[in-house]
Amino acid sequence: MPQPVRVWPEKDQHGQVFANFSPTKNKPWPLVPGQTYAQRYRIVAFDGEMTPGKAENLWKDYATPAEVSIEPVRRK
């Protein structure tokens, strides 16, 4: 599920890039001793216009990746 991202304004920090994912902005996230937490991210960089359709396709590609199976090839 998409998460809020905190970024520095372009004029701050001499133009350095900073992005911070914030999964706790939408809901509480209690930390339980011994429990493992995992997050997966994909960053898309582009030059041009991002349309809602392009954004939706990128999300679908990430959220439901193609299934791949690999089988050994026997050589004679």
Q: Which domain holds residue 48?
A: 38-63
Residue-wise pLDDT for 28-41, tens only, equals 888 899 999 888 88
Instruction: Record the pTM.
Output: 0.49
Per-residue pLDDT at 71: 92
Which H or E run contains 7? strand 5-7
With a cut of 80, say whether residue 70 has pLDDT above it.
yes
The larger pLDDT score, comparing residue 23 to residue 68, is at 68
Domain count, the chain: 1
Tell me, yes or no, whether 54 lies in a domain: yes
User: Which residues are CB-contacts of 69 (< 8 A; sequence separation ≥ 6)?
Assistant: none
Tell me, yes or no, whether 24 lies in a domain: no
Cβ atoms of 7 and 19 within 8 Å: the answer is: yes
Residue-wise pLDDT for 6-20, tens only, equals 787 777 777 777 778
With a cut of 80, say whether residue 2 has pLDDT above it.
no
Give the separation between CA 44 and CA 47, rounded to whole angstroms. Answer: 10
Tell me, yes or no, whether 29 lies in a domain: no
Tell me, yes or no, whether 55 lies in a domain: yes
